[in-house]
Amino acid sequence: MARTPVGRSGKVLCHRSGERWTVELRLEESGGTQGRQYRVVLGRTFTTDIAASQAGEQVVAEWQGNRIAVRDLMLGELAATYRRLRETYQRMQPPTVPTTRSAWEHAITTWEGLGWINGADVARFRDHVRWTLAPESAGIPQRRIRLDGESD
């Protein structure tokens, strides 16, 4: 089956964060009968708005050129959030990086309950987790493990 061509567009928004700048990407895919929008915050800060803008534009260009997957951008944001919270709070919950969908959901709920992340971040992170950890998002075939220990 032929794949429907996808049109991609992106917008870079830079936000002041103390003395530094963060980059938010608003990405949109259109093609066939469905379109999808993504909102991803890059996992690093920049010293100037110009540097932030240039970095964001470079990532958008790579995504439009199909050289980077939105899944990787989302996983990068989740990992950067975990690292930032780990550096900020000594008693990090969970103590290790979540690796499953349920572990990420639990971590996000815990961080929200502790006031470490706000409602907008909670919604975005949950969307990232649902999208990135779904088997079809990476083209990873699902495999069932037999009770006798042999896989199919």
Last-in-domain residue among 51, 68, 85: 68
In a domain, 134, yes or no: yes
Give every CB contact of residue 73 below 8 A, 6+ residues apart in sequence: 25, 38, 40, 42, 59, 63
Cα angle at 83 between 77 and 85, to 5 degrees?
A: 100
* 148 found inside a domain: no
**Which pLDDT band holds residue 135 (cuts at 50, 70, 90)?**
low
Q: What is the pLDDT of residues 74-124, one digit of tens each?
A: 999 999 999 999 999 878 888 888 989 999 999 999 999 999 999 999 999
How much is the average pLDDT of 137-146? 43
Q: Indicate the residue among 49, 68, 87 that finishes a domain.
A: 68
Mean pLDDT of 16-38: 88
**N-terminal to C-terminal alpha carbon distance within the chain:** 26
Q: What percent of the chain has pLDDT over 70?
A: 84
pTM, two decimals, is 0.79
Count how many Cα atoms sit within 13 Å of the Cα of residue 51 in the half-sphere of its side chain: 9
Give CA 113 to chain center in angstroms: 21
